[in-house]
Chain A
Protein backbone atom coordinates (compact mmCIF):
# COMPACT_ATOMS: atom_id res chain seq x y z
CA UNK A 1 0.00 0.00 0.00
CA UNK A 2 1.35 3.43 -0.86
CA UNK A 3 1.45 5.86 2.02
CA UNK A 4 -2.00 7.46 2.10
CA UNK A 5 -0.62 10.63 3.65
CA UNK A 6 1.38 11.34 0.48
CA UNK A 7 -1.79 11.88 -1.57
CA UNK A 8 -2.90 15.34 -2.54
CA UNK A 9 -6.36 16.35 -1.32
CA UNK A 10 -7.66 16.15 -4.90
CA UNK A 11 -6.22 12.65 -5.45
CA UNK A 12 -7.56 11.42 -2.11
CA UNK A 13 -10.98 12.81 -3.03
CA UNK A 14 -10.96 10.97 -6.35
CA UNK A 15 -9.80 7.70 -4.77
CA UNK A 16 -12.47 7.93 -2.09
CA UNK A 17 -15.10 8.54 -4.72
CA UNK A 18 -13.97 5.52 -6.75
CA UNK A 19 -13.87 3.51 -3.49
CA UNK A 20 -10.19 2.62 -4.06
CA UNK A 21 -9.59 3.72 -0.47
CA UNK A 22 -11.84 4.35 2.54
CA UNK A 23 -12.04 7.45 4.69
CA UNK A 24 -11.37 5.35 7.79
CA UNK A 25 -8.05 4.07 6.35
CA UNK A 26 -7.13 7.55 5.16
CA UNK A 27 -7.98 9.05 8.55
CA UNK A 28 -6.12 6.33 10.48
CA UNK A 29 -3.02 6.92 8.32
CA UNK A 30 -3.08 10.61 9.22
CA UNK A 31 -3.73 9.97 12.91
CA UNK A 32 -0.71 7.64 12.93
CA UNK A 33 1.40 10.30 11.21
CA UNK A 34 0.30 12.87 13.82
CA UNK A 35 1.26 10.47 16.62
CA UNK A 36 4.75 9.98 15.14
CA UNK A 37 5.15 13.75 14.71
CA UNK A 38 4.31 14.76 18.31
CA UNK A 39 7.77 16.35 18.53
CA UNK A 40 6.89 18.99 15.91
CA UNK A 41 4.15 20.27 18.28
CA UNK A 42 1.87 21.16 15.34
CA UNK A 43 -1.33 19.91 17.01
CA UNK A 44 -2.53 21.16 20.40
CA UNK A 45 -5.48 18.73 20.46
CA UNK A 46 -6.07 15.54 18.47
CA UNK A 47 -9.72 14.50 18.19
CA UNK A 48 -9.23 10.77 17.50
CA UNK A 49 -12.74 9.56 18.33
CA UNK A 50 -14.43 12.39 16.49
CA UNK A 51 -12.20 11.88 13.44
CA UNK A 52 -12.99 8.16 13.24
CA UNK A 53 -16.72 8.71 13.76
CA UNK A 54 -16.77 11.36 11.02
CA UNK A 55 -14.76 9.06 8.72
CA UNK A 56 -17.18 6.17 9.28
CA UNK A 57 -20.13 8.40 8.50
CA UNK A 58 -18.36 9.58 5.34
CA UNK A 59 -17.68 6.01 4.23
CA UNK A 60 -21.37 5.21 4.69
CA UNK A 61 -22.35 8.17 2.51
CA UNK A 62 -19.72 7.35 -0.13
CA UNK A 63 -20.96 3.73 -0.25
CA UNK A 64 -24.38 5.05 -1.23
CA UNK A 65 -22.80 7.22 -3.93
CA UNK A 66 -23.52 10.33 -1.88
CA UNK A 67 -21.28 12.87 -0.19
CA UNK A 68 -20.10 16.46 -0.41
CA UNK A 69 -17.12 18.11 -2.07
CA UNK A 70 -14.77 17.16 0.80
CA UNK A 71 -16.39 13.87 1.77
CA UNK A 72 -14.09 11.79 3.96
CA UNK A 73 -11.03 14.06 3.67
CA UNK A 74 -9.10 14.52 6.96
CA UNK A 75 -8.02 18.10 7.67
CA UNK A 76 -6.65 20.15 10.56
CA UNK A 77 -8.26 23.23 12.10
CA UNK A 78 -6.38 26.25 13.45
CA UNK A 79 -7.10 26.69 17.17
CA UNK A 80 -8.70 30.06 16.39
CA UNK A 81 -11.90 28.51 14.97
CA UNK A 82 -14.66 27.72 17.44
CA UNK A 83 -15.37 23.99 17.28
CA UNK A 84 -18.26 22.82 19.40
CA UNK A 85 -17.13 20.95 22.50
CA UNK A 86 -13.50 20.90 21.32
CA UNK A 87 -10.39 22.79 22.52
CA UNK A 88 -10.62 26.40 21.21
CA UNK A 89 -8.18 28.82 22.81
CA UNK A 90 -6.37 30.67 20.01
CA UNK A 91 -3.41 29.13 21.88
CA UNK A 92 -3.81 31.57 24.77
CA UNK A 93 -3.66 30.81 28.48
CA UNK A 94 -6.52 33.25 29.07
CA UNK A 95 -8.98 30.90 27.33
CA UNK A 96 -8.00 27.94 29.53
CA UNK A 97 -10.51 25.15 29.30
CA UNK A 98 -12.77 26.95 26.82
CA UNK A 99 -15.06 24.56 24.95
CA UNK A 100 -17.44 26.51 22.70
CA UNK A 101 -21.14 25.71 22.68
CA UNK A 102 -21.23 26.60 18.99
CA UNK A 103 -19.42 25.96 15.71
CA UNK A 104 -17.73 28.61 13.53
CA UNK A 105 -19.35 29.13 10.13
CA UNK A 106 -16.19 28.19 8.23
CA UNK A 107 -15.78 24.87 10.04
CA UNK A 108 -19.52 24.18 9.83
CA UNK A 109 -19.22 24.66 6.04
CA UNK A 110 -16.35 22.18 5.93
CA UNK A 111 -18.29 19.54 7.92
CA UNK A 112 -21.36 20.19 5.74
CA UNK A 113 -19.21 19.20 2.75
CA UNK A 114 -18.03 16.02 4.47
CA UNK A 115 -14.54 16.91 5.76
CA UNK A 116 -13.13 14.97 8.73
CA UNK A 117 -11.59 16.86 11.69
CA UNK A 118 -8.24 15.51 12.93
CA UNK A 119 -7.77 18.11 15.66
CA UNK A 120 -6.75 21.67 16.50
CA UNK A 121 -3.53 23.26 15.29
CA UNK A 122 -0.98 25.33 17.14
CA UNK A 123 -0.67 29.07 16.38
CA UNK A 124 0.76 32.29 17.73
CA UNK A 125 -1.33 33.50 20.69
CA UNK A 126 -4.40 35.30 19.27
CA UNK A 127 -2.64 35.13 15.86
CA UNK A 128 -0.11 37.75 16.98
CA UNK A 129 3.26 36.65 15.70
CA UNK A 130 5.23 35.56 12.65
CA UNK A 131 7.01 32.46 13.96
CA UNK A 132 4.53 30.60 16.18
CA UNK A 133 6.78 31.38 19.16
CA UNK A 134 4.11 33.33 21.07
CA UNK A 135 1.85 30.28 21.53
CA UNK A 136 1.03 29.34 25.13
CA UNK A 137 1.59 25.75 23.96
CA UNK A 138 5.16 26.39 22.86
CA UNK A 139 6.80 26.78 19.47
CA UNK A 140 6.16 24.54 16.46
CA UNK A 141 9.05 23.07 14.47
CA UNK A 142 9.03 23.22 10.68
CA UNK A 143 9.48 19.84 8.97
CA UNK A 144 12.33 21.44 6.99
CA UNK A 145 15.77 20.61 8.42
CA UNK A 146 17.96 23.60 9.26
CA UNK A 147 20.80 23.95 6.71
CA UNK A 148 23.64 21.49 7.40
CA UNK A 149 21.79 19.77 10.22
CA UNK A 150 21.64 15.98 10.45
CA UNK A 151 18.36 14.22 11.19
CA UNK A 152 19.80 13.01 14.51
CA UNK A 153 20.72 16.53 15.53
CA UNK A 154 17.22 17.78 14.64
CA UNK A 155 15.51 14.91 16.49
CA UNK A 156 17.49 15.77 19.60
CA UNK A 157 16.38 19.41 19.30
CA UNK A 158 12.73 18.33 19.06
CA UNK A 159 12.99 16.94 22.59
CA UNK A 160 13.75 20.43 23.89
CA UNK A 161 10.59 22.37 24.72
CA UNK A 162 12.05 25.58 23.23
CA UNK A 163 13.03 23.76 20.00
CA UNK A 164 15.96 26.16 19.61
CA UNK A 165 17.81 26.05 16.32
CA UNK A 166 15.04 24.24 14.46
CA UNK A 167 13.31 26.26 11.76
CA UNK A 168 10.19 28.32 12.45
CA UNK A 169 7.20 27.27 10.31
CA UNK A 170 6.13 30.91 10.11
CA UNK A 171 3.20 32.44 11.90
CA UNK A 172 0.67 32.93 13.03
CA UNK A 173 -0.62 29.77 11.28
CA UNK A 174 2.55 27.81 12.15
CA UNK A 175 0.79 24.65 13.32
CA UNK A 176 -1.23 24.62 10.11
CA UNK A 177 1.79 25.10 7.82
CA UNK A 178 3.94 22.57 9.67
CA UNK A 179 1.16 19.94 9.68
CA UNK A 180 0.38 20.35 5.98
CA UNK A 181 4.06 20.35 4.93
CA UNK A 182 4.75 17.30 7.14
CA UNK A 183 1.79 15.39 5.62
CA UNK A 184 -0.09 15.21 8.94
CA UNK A 185 -3.30 16.39 7.24
CA UNK A 186 -4.41 16.86 3.63
CA UNK A 187 -5.01 20.58 4.19
CA UNK A 188 -5.74 22.96 7.05
CA UNK A 189 -7.65 26.07 7.89
CA UNK A 190 -5.61 29.16 8.70
CA UNK A 191 -6.29 32.88 9.11
CA UNK A 192 -4.54 36.01 7.94
CA UNK A 193 -4.55 39.49 9.51
CA UNK A 194 -1.19 40.73 8.18
CA UNK A 195 0.31 37.69 6.47
CA UNK A 196 -0.47 34.77 8.77
CA UNK A 197 -1.50 32.42 5.95
CA UNK A 198 0.96 33.54 3.29
CA UNK A 199 4.22 33.85 5.25
CA UNK A 200 3.89 30.31 6.77
CA UNK A 201 3.11 28.97 3.27
CA UNK A 202 6.32 30.55 1.94
CA UNK A 203 8.39 29.26 4.89
CA UNK A 204 7.26 25.64 4.46
CA UNK A 205 6.97 25.26 0.68
CA UNK A 206 3.19 25.02 0.45
CA UNK A 207 0.26 27.07 -0.94
CA UNK A 208 -1.79 29.56 1.05
CA UNK A 209 -4.49 31.99 0.01
CA UNK A 210 -6.01 34.89 1.90
CA UNK A 211 -9.23 35.63 0.03
CA UNK A 212 -10.89 39.02 -0.35
CA UNK A 213 -12.14 40.55 2.91
CA UNK A 214 -15.71 39.29 3.29
CA UNK A 215 -15.28 36.13 1.20
CA UNK A 216 -15.36 33.87 4.29
CA UNK A 217 -17.50 34.45 7.34
CA UNK A 218 -15.62 35.54 10.44
CA UNK A 219 -18.37 34.23 12.72
CA UNK A 220 -16.87 31.92 15.32
CA UNK A 221 -13.28 32.89 14.56
CA UNK A 222 -11.51 34.31 17.60
CA UNK A 223 -11.22 38.01 16.66
CA UNK A 224 -7.87 39.79 16.44
CA UNK A 225 -8.38 42.86 14.16
CA UNK A 226 -11.87 42.68 12.70
CA UNK A 227 -11.30 44.92 9.65
CA UNK A 228 -8.26 42.86 8.59
CA UNK A 229 -8.96 39.25 9.72
CA UNK A 230 -9.86 36.76 7.00
CA UNK A 231 -10.04 32.95 6.86
CA UNK A 232 -8.26 30.89 4.24
CA UNK A 233 -6.68 27.49 3.61
CA UNK A 234 -3.16 26.06 3.57
CA UNK A 235 -2.62 23.12 1.22
CA UNK A 236 0.12 21.38 -0.75
CA UNK A 237 -1.09 22.33 -4.23
CA UNK A 238 -2.94 25.23 -5.80
CA UNK A 239 -5.76 22.86 -6.78
CA UNK A 240 -6.11 21.64 -3.18
CA UNK A 241 -6.27 25.23 -1.91
CA UNK A 242 -8.99 25.99 -4.50
CA UNK A 243 -11.06 22.99 -3.38
CA UNK A 244 -10.75 24.00 0.28
CA UNK A 245 -11.62 27.66 -0.27
CA UNK A 246 -14.75 26.83 -2.22
CA UNK A 247 -16.11 24.97 0.80
CA UNK A 248 -14.93 27.49 3.41
CA UNK A 249 -16.32 30.59 1.64
CA UNK A 250 -19.88 31.79 1.26
CA UNK A 251 -22.52 34.11 2.62
CA UNK A 252 -23.47 34.13 6.29
CA UNK A 253 -26.24 36.12 7.94
CA UNK A 254 -24.27 35.97 11.22
CA UNK A 255 -21.44 38.16 9.82
CA UNK A 256 -22.64 41.48 8.42
CA UNK A 257 -19.31 42.00 6.60
CA UNK A 258 -19.60 38.65 4.80
CA UNK A 259 -20.24 38.93 1.06
CA UNK A 260 -23.48 37.62 -0.44
CA UNK A 261 -21.76 37.00 -3.80
CA UNK A 262 -22.05 33.34 -4.85
CA UNK A 263 -18.84 31.29 -4.56
CA UNK A 264 -17.41 30.28 -7.95
CA UNK A 265 -15.94 26.84 -8.70
CA UNK A 266 -12.33 27.83 -7.97
CA UNK A 267 -10.99 24.45 -9.02
CA UNK A 268 -12.21 25.12 -12.57
CA UNK A 269 -9.82 28.09 -12.72
CA UNK A 270 -6.80 25.84 -12.01
CA UNK A 271 -5.19 25.07 -15.35
CA UNK A 272 -6.92 27.98 -17.08
CA UNK A 273 -4.53 29.73 -19.49
CA UNK A 274 -2.83 32.91 -18.36
CA UNK A 275 -2.25 33.97 -21.95
CA UNK A 276 -3.14 37.62 -22.46
CA UNK A 277 -3.28 38.45 -18.74
CA UNK A 278 -1.41 41.52 -17.55
CA UNK A 279 0.80 41.07 -14.49
CA UNK A 280 2.02 44.14 -12.62
CA UNK A 281 5.40 44.28 -10.89
CA UNK A 282 5.45 47.09 -8.30
CA UNK A 283 8.78 48.91 -8.08
CA UNK A 284 8.14 49.95 -4.48
CA UNK A 285 8.50 46.33 -3.35
CA UNK A 286 12.18 46.48 -4.33
CA UNK A 287 13.51 47.37 -0.90
CA UNK A 288 16.91 48.79 -0.03
CA UNK A 289 19.25 45.98 0.96
CA UNK A 290 16.88 43.35 -0.39
CA UNK A 291 18.09 39.75 -0.26
CA UNK A 292 19.49 39.13 -3.79
CA UNK A 293 18.07 35.60 -3.77
CA UNK A 294 14.55 36.96 -3.24
CA UNK A 295 15.05 39.56 -5.96
CA UNK A 296 16.27 36.88 -8.41
CA UNK A 297 13.30 34.64 -7.58
CA UNK A 298 10.90 37.50 -8.19
CA UNK A 299 12.47 38.16 -11.62
CA UNK A 300 12.27 34.45 -12.39
CA UNK A 301 8.57 34.43 -11.50
CA UNK A 302 7.94 37.28 -13.94
CA UNK A 303 9.91 35.38 -16.59
CA UNK A 304 7.83 32.22 -16.05
CA UNK A 305 4.60 34.14 -16.48
CA UNK A 306 5.91 35.89 -19.59
CA UNK A 307 6.81 32.47 -21.01
CA UNK A 308 3.27 31.29 -20.26
CA UNK A 309 1.89 34.12 -22.39
CA UNK A 310 1.19 36.84 -19.84
CA UNK A 311 2.25 40.44 -20.29
CA UNK A 312 4.44 41.76 -17.46
CA UNK A 313 4.36 45.49 -16.80
CA UNK A 314 5.82 47.83 -14.18
CA UNK A 315 3.30 49.37 -11.80
CA UNK A 316 3.63 51.89 -9.01
CA UNK A 317 2.12 51.54 -5.53
CA UNK A 318 3.63 54.67 -3.97
CA UNK A 319 2.18 54.24 -0.46
CA UNK A 320 3.59 50.73 0.04
CA UNK A 321 6.18 51.78 2.63
CA UNK A 322 3.51 53.25 4.89
CA UNK A 323 1.51 50.02 5.07
CA UNK A 324 3.46 48.24 7.81
CA UNK A 325 3.64 51.19 10.25
CA UNK A 326 -0.06 51.96 9.64
CA UNK A 327 -0.87 48.30 10.25
CA UNK A 328 0.89 48.48 13.62
CA UNK A 329 -1.57 51.18 14.62
CA UNK A 330 -4.80 49.77 13.14
CA UNK A 331 -4.30 46.12 14.17
CA UNK A 332 -3.36 46.75 17.84
CA UNK A 333 -6.16 49.34 18.13
CA UNK A 334 -8.77 46.83 16.98
CA UNK A 335 -7.17 44.11 19.09
CA UNK A 336 -7.36 46.24 22.24
CA UNK A 337 -11.09 46.56 21.66
CA UNK A 338 -11.70 42.92 20.66
CA UNK A 339 -9.67 41.45 23.50
CA UNK A 340 -11.45 43.56 26.14
CA UNK A 341 -13.87 40.62 26.39
CA UNK A 342 -11.30 38.51 28.29
CA UNK A 343 -12.23 39.69 31.74
CA UNK A 344 -12.13 36.58 33.91
CA UNK A 345 -15.92 36.62 34.23
CA UNK A 346 -17.48 34.94 31.22
CA UNK A 347 -14.98 32.28 30.16
CA UNK A 348 -11.46 31.01 30.62
CA UNK A 349 -8.95 32.00 33.25
CA UNK A 350 -9.94 33.86 36.43
CA UNK A 351 -7.47 35.05 39.02
CA UNK A 352 -8.94 35.47 42.50
CA UNK A 353 -9.47 39.09 43.57
CA UNK A 354 -11.70 40.92 46.01
CA UNK A 355 -12.40 43.87 43.74
CA UNK A 356 -13.56 43.95 40.09
CA UNK A 357 -10.77 46.04 38.50
CA UNK A 358 -8.24 43.95 40.38
CA UNK A 359 -9.90 40.83 38.95
CA UNK A 360 -9.50 42.17 35.40
CA UNK A 361 -5.91 43.31 35.87
CA UNK A 362 -4.69 40.13 37.56
CA UNK A 363 -6.49 37.81 35.13
CA UNK A 364 -5.26 39.67 32.05
CA UNK A 365 -1.69 40.00 33.37
CA UNK A 366 -1.49 36.25 33.94
CA UNK A 367 -3.55 35.14 30.92
CA UNK A 368 -1.94 37.14 28.10
CA UNK A 369 1.59 36.49 26.87
CA UNK A 370 4.19 39.23 26.37
CA UNK A 371 3.45 39.94 22.69
CA UNK A 372 -0.31 40.19 23.26
CA UNK A 373 0.16 42.48 26.29
CA UNK A 374 2.48 44.68 24.23
CA UNK A 375 0.00 45.02 21.36
CA UNK A 376 -2.94 45.67 23.67
CA UNK A 377 -1.02 48.45 25.34
CA UNK A 378 -0.04 50.03 21.99
CA UNK A 379 -3.66 49.75 20.86
CA UNK A 380 -4.93 51.31 24.07
CA UNK A 381 -2.44 54.15 23.71
CA UNK A 382 -3.28 55.03 20.08
CA UNK A 383 -7.00 55.05 20.90
CA UNK A 384 -6.65 57.10 24.07
CA UNK A 385 -7.86 60.69 24.38
CA UNK A 386 -5.47 63.14 22.77
CA UNK A 387 -3.76 60.57 20.54
CA UNK A 388 -6.71 59.17 18.57
CA UNK A 389 -6.47 61.66 15.68
CA UNK A 390 -2.69 61.69 15.50
CA UNK A 391 -2.42 57.92 15.30
CA UNK A 392 -5.61 56.01 14.58
CA UNK A 393 -7.45 58.43 12.27
CA UNK A 394 -4.22 59.19 10.40
CA UNK A 395 -3.53 55.45 9.92
CA UNK A 396 -7.05 54.94 8.56
CA UNK A 397 -6.49 57.79 6.08
CA UNK A 398 -3.23 56.17 4.98
CA UNK A 399 -5.18 52.96 4.52
CA UNK A 400 -7.42 54.78 2.05
CA UNK A 401 -4.27 55.86 0.14
CA UNK A 402 -2.91 52.30 0.08
CA UNK A 403 -6.19 50.97 -1.30
CA UNK A 404 -6.30 53.76 -3.90
CA UNK A 405 -2.84 52.73 -5.19
CA UNK A 406 -4.16 49.26 -5.96
CA UNK A 407 -7.37 50.61 -7.50
CA UNK A 408 -5.35 52.74 -9.90
CA UNK A 409 -3.14 49.78 -10.90
CA UNK A 410 -6.19 47.59 -11.54
CA UNK A 411 -7.99 50.38 -13.41
CA UNK A 412 -4.97 50.60 -15.70
CA UNK A 413 -5.63 47.04 -16.82
CA UNK A 414 -3.48 44.97 -14.48
CA UNK A 415 -5.08 41.57 -13.71
CA UNK A 416 -2.79 40.64 -10.83
CA UNK A 417 0.34 41.89 -9.09
CA UNK A 418 3.43 39.74 -8.56
CA UNK A 419 5.61 40.31 -5.47
CA UNK A 420 7.95 38.36 -3.20
CA UNK A 421 6.18 36.64 -0.28
CA UNK A 422 8.76 37.19 2.47
CA UNK A 423 12.04 39.10 2.86
CA UNK A 424 13.95 35.83 3.49
CA UNK A 425 13.62 32.06 3.82
CA UNK A 426 12.60 30.61 7.21
CA UNK A 427 14.67 31.67 10.20
CA UNK A 428 15.49 29.56 13.23
CA UNK A 429 13.34 29.46 16.36
CA UNK A 430 14.85 31.85 18.91
CA UNK A 431 16.72 33.88 16.26
CA UNK A 432 14.44 36.91 16.34
CA UNK A 433 13.74 37.20 20.05
CA UNK A 434 15.69 40.45 20.39
CA UNK A 435 14.49 43.36 22.50
CA UNK A 436 13.11 45.13 19.43
CA UNK A 437 9.69 43.70 18.46
CA UNK A 438 9.84 45.59 15.14
CA UNK A 439 12.43 43.11 13.82
CA UNK A 440 9.80 40.37 13.81
CA UNK A 441 7.15 42.69 12.36
CA UNK A 442 9.26 43.27 9.23
CA UNK A 443 8.41 39.72 8.12
CA UNK A 444 5.03 41.00 6.97
CA UNK A 445 6.35 43.83 4.79
CA UNK A 446 5.15 42.26 1.50
CA UNK A 447 1.91 40.74 2.77
CA UNK A 448 0.39 43.39 5.02
CA UNK A 449 -0.60 45.78 2.19
CA UNK A 450 -3.07 43.17 0.97
CA UNK A 451 -4.93 43.09 4.31
CA UNK A 452 -4.92 46.88 4.52
CA UNK A 453 -6.62 47.03 1.09
CA UNK A 454 -8.91 44.01 1.69
CA UNK A 455 -7.62 42.24 -1.43
CA UNK A 456 -7.02 38.54 -2.12
CA UNK A 457 -3.44 37.26 -2.09
CA UNK A 458 -2.01 33.82 -2.82
CA UNK A 459 1.47 32.48 -2.07
CA UNK A 460 2.83 29.55 -4.05
CA UNK A 461 6.17 27.77 -3.67
CA UNK A 462 8.64 28.99 -6.30
CA UNK A 463 11.87 27.19 -5.56
CA UNK A 464 14.61 26.72 -2.99
CA UNK A 465 17.21 29.08 -1.56
CA UNK A 466 20.93 28.35 -1.95
CA UNK A 467 20.69 26.73 1.49
CA UNK A 468 17.92 24.44 0.28
CA UNK A 469 14.98 26.15 2.01
CA UNK A 470 11.65 26.91 0.31
CA UNK A 471 10.85 30.36 -1.06
CA UNK A 472 7.47 31.63 -2.22
CA UNK A 473 6.00 34.26 -4.52
CA UNK A 474 2.84 36.26 -3.90
CA UNK A 475 0.11 37.23 -6.35
CA UNK A 476 -2.34 39.99 -5.40
CA UNK A 477 -5.71 40.11 -7.17
CA UNK A 478 -8.73 42.31 -7.74
CA UNK A 479 -11.46 42.13 -5.10
CA UNK A 480 -13.36 38.81 -5.40
CA UNK A 481 -11.21 37.63 -8.30
CA UNK A 482 -9.64 34.65 -6.52
CA UNK A 483 -10.15 32.66 -9.73
CA UNK A 484 -7.46 34.63 -11.58
CA UNK A 485 -5.10 34.06 -8.64
CA UNK A 486 -5.71 30.30 -8.79
CA UNK A 487 -5.08 30.33 -12.57
CA UNK A 488 -1.82 32.30 -12.31
CA UNK A 489 -0.79 30.46 -9.15
CA UNK A 490 -1.16 27.15 -10.97
CA UNK A 491 0.97 28.49 -13.84
CA UNK A 492 3.71 29.45 -11.36
CA UNK A 493 3.41 26.07 -9.66
CA UNK A 494 3.82 24.30 -12.97
CA UNK A 495 6.78 26.41 -14.05
CA UNK A 496 8.56 26.08 -10.70
CA UNK A 497 7.82 22.37 -10.34
CA UNK A 498 6.23 20.93 -7.20
CA UNK A 499 8.47 21.55 -4.20
CA UNK A 500 9.69 18.24 -2.81
CA UNK A 501 8.66 18.31 0.84
CA UNK A 502 11.02 16.83 3.45
CA UNK A 503 10.99 13.11 4.27
CA UNK A 504 9.91 12.40 7.88
CA UNK A 505 13.14 12.70 9.86
CA UNK A 506 11.07 13.47 12.96
CA UNK A 507 9.34 10.07 13.16
Chain B
Protein backbone atom coordinates (compact mmCIF):
# COMPACT_ATOMS: atom_id res chain seq x y z
CA UNK B 1 0.00 0.00 0.00
CA UNK B 2 1.17 3.53 -0.61
CA UNK B 3 -0.20 6.98 0.08
CA UNK B 4 -0.73 9.91 -2.30
CA UNK B 5 -0.23 13.58 -1.49
CA UNK B 6 -3.86 14.07 -0.47
CA UNK B 7 -3.57 11.18 1.97
CA UNK B 8 -0.38 12.65 3.46
CA UNK B 9 -2.18 15.97 3.99
CA UNK B 10 -5.10 14.15 5.63
CA UNK B 11 -2.83 12.10 7.93
CA UNK B 12 -0.96 15.23 9.01
CA UNK B 13 -4.25 16.90 9.86
CA UNK B 14 -5.45 13.84 11.83
CA UNK B 15 -2.14 13.91 13.73
CA UNK B 16 -2.63 17.67 14.28
CA UNK B 17 0.75 18.46 12.75
CA UNK B 18 0.84 21.45 10.46
CA UNK B 19 2.60 20.80 7.14
CA UNK B 20 3.26 23.08 4.20
CA UNK B 21 2.60 21.97 0.62
CA UNK B 22 6.35 22.09 0.01
CA UNK B 23 6.95 19.43 2.69
CA UNK B 24 4.38 16.98 1.35
CA UNK B 25 6.35 15.16 -1.40
CA UNK B 26 9.27 14.51 0.97
CA UNK B 27 6.95 13.17 3.70
CA UNK B 28 5.16 11.05 1.14
CA UNK B 29 8.47 9.41 0.13
CA UNK B 30 9.38 8.63 3.73
CA UNK B 31 5.97 7.29 4.69
CA UNK B 32 5.87 5.10 1.59
CA UNK B 33 9.36 3.75 2.38
CA UNK B 34 8.11 2.67 5.82
CA UNK B 35 4.88 1.24 4.40
CA UNK B 36 6.90 -0.75 1.85
CA UNK B 37 9.04 -2.05 4.71
CA UNK B 38 6.01 -3.35 6.65
CA UNK B 39 4.32 -4.69 3.49
CA UNK B 40 5.76 -8.20 3.98
CA UNK B 41 3.59 -8.67 7.08
CA UNK B 42 0.61 -9.11 4.78
CA UNK B 43 1.92 -12.55 3.85
CA UNK B 44 2.13 -13.91 7.41
CA UNK B 45 -0.52 -16.49 8.23
CA UNK B 46 -2.34 -15.09 11.26
CA UNK B 47 -5.44 -17.23 10.91
CA UNK B 48 -6.83 -18.01 14.37
CA UNK B 49 -4.10 -16.04 16.19
CA UNK B 50 -5.24 -13.77 19.02
CA UNK B 51 -3.90 -10.22 18.86
CA UNK B 52 -1.69 -9.46 21.84
CA UNK B 53 -3.32 -7.26 24.45
CA UNK B 54 -0.86 -7.72 27.30
CA UNK B 55 2.73 -8.86 26.93
CA UNK B 56 2.81 -10.36 30.42
CA UNK B 57 0.03 -12.61 31.71
CA UNK B 58 -1.53 -10.40 34.36
CA UNK B 59 -4.88 -9.33 35.65
CA UNK B 60 -5.49 -5.60 35.77
CA UNK B 61 -5.30 -4.70 39.45
CA UNK B 62 -8.33 -3.00 40.97
CA UNK B 63 -8.28 -0.47 43.80
CA UNK B 64 -10.90 1.07 46.01
CA UNK B 65 -13.04 3.58 44.12
CA UNK B 66 -12.05 6.52 46.28
CA UNK B 67 -10.34 9.87 45.76
CA UNK B 68 -6.59 9.44 46.33
CA UNK B 69 -5.23 12.73 45.05
CA UNK B 70 -6.30 16.29 44.36
CA UNK B 71 -6.34 19.87 45.62
CA UNK B 72 -3.15 20.53 43.68
CA UNK B 73 -4.26 23.20 41.22
CA UNK B 74 -0.97 25.05 41.56
CA UNK B 75 1.01 21.95 40.62
CA UNK B 76 -1.26 21.06 37.73
CA UNK B 77 -0.97 24.54 36.25
CA UNK B 78 2.68 25.13 37.12
CA UNK B 79 3.96 24.32 33.61
CA UNK B 80 1.10 25.72 31.55
CA UNK B 81 2.09 28.39 29.03
CA UNK B 82 -1.08 30.45 29.74
CA UNK B 83 -3.46 30.31 32.70
CA UNK B 84 -6.12 32.51 34.27
CA UNK B 85 -7.98 32.17 37.59
CA UNK B 86 -6.87 28.56 38.06
CA UNK B 87 -7.72 27.46 34.51
CA UNK B 88 -5.78 26.57 31.36
CA UNK B 89 -6.27 29.24 28.72
CA UNK B 90 -7.13 28.23 25.13
CA UNK B 91 -8.23 30.20 22.07
CA UNK B 92 -11.98 30.47 21.49
CA UNK B 93 -13.46 27.03 20.76
CA UNK B 94 -17.18 27.96 20.46
CA UNK B 95 -18.46 31.36 19.35
Contacts and interface: CB of A to CB of B under 8 A. Distances in A.
A69 to B, nearest CB: 26
A137 interface: no
A101 interface: yes
B46 A345 contact: no
B50 A397 contact: yes
A360 interface: yes
B30 A395 contact: no
B55 A401 contact: no
A438 B34 contact: yes
A435 B18 contact: no
A315 B1 CA distance: 34
A400 B50 contact: yes
A111 interface: no
B93 A378 contact: no
Contacts of A343: 16
A5 B6 CA distance: 56
A378 B28 CA distance: 11
A353 B91 contact: yes
A396 B41 CA distance: 11
Contacts of A227: 52, 54-55
B19 A381 contact: no
A361 interface: yes
B52 to A, nearest CB: 4
Interface in A394-440: 394-401, 403, 435-438
Nearest to A253: B63
B14 A380 contact: yes
A357 B16 CA distance: 7
Contact of A214 (B12, B34, B46, B58): B58
A92 to B, nearest CB: 14
Contact of A257 (B27, B49, B58): B58
Contacts of A361: 13, 16-18
Interface string B51-67: 11111101011010000
Determine which residue in A212, A257, A340, A479 has the highest number of CB atoms from chain B within 10 A of its CB, and name it.
Answer: A257
A299 interface: no
Interface stretch (A175-183, A273-281, A369-377): A369-377
Interface string A348-367: 11100111111111101100
A212 B56 contact: yes
Given A361-B18, A362-B18, A381-B11, A329 B49 contact: no
Interface residues of B, number: 53
A359 B61 CA distance: 38
A200 to B, nearest CB: 23
Nearest to A378: B34
A437 B82 contact: no
A99 B18 contact: no
Nearest to B94: A356
Determine which residue in B15, B38, B49, B80 has the highest number of CB atoms from chain A within 10 A of its CB, and name it.
Answer: B15
A453 B55 contact: yes
A401 B79 contact: no
Given A353-B91, A356-B93, A348 B51 contact: no
B46 A398 contact: yes
Contacts of B49: 397-398, 400-401
Contacts of A329: 38, 41
Contacts of A348: 79, 81
B31 A441 contact: no
B22 interface: no
Determine which residue in B29, B30, B42 has the highest number of CB atoms from chain A within 10 A of its CB, and name it.
Answer: B30
A384 interface: yes
Contacts of B52: 227, 396-397, 399-400, 403
A355 B16 CA distance: 13
13 contacts: A98-B79, A256-B60, A328-B38, A350-B81, A355-B91, A376-B17, A379-B15, A394-B41, A397-B50, A397-B51, A398-B49, A403-B55, A438-B37
Interface of A: 97-102, 212-214, 227, 253, 256-257, 259, 319, 321-322, 325-326, 328-329, 336, 340, 343-350, 353-362, 364-365, 368, 373-374, 376-381, 384, 390-391, 393-401, 403, 435-438, 441, 452-454, 479
Interface of B: 1, 3, 7-8, 11-19, 27, 29-31, 33-35, 37-42, 44, 46, 49-56, 58, 60-61, 63, 72, 75, 78-82, 88-93
Given A365-B18, A400-B49, 18 more contacts: A227-B55, A325-B39, A328-B38, A345-B81, A345-B90, A347-B80, A348-B81, A354-B91, A361-B16, A364-B15, A365-B19, A374-B34, A390-B42, A396-B53, A397-B50, A399-B52, A400-B51, A403-B55
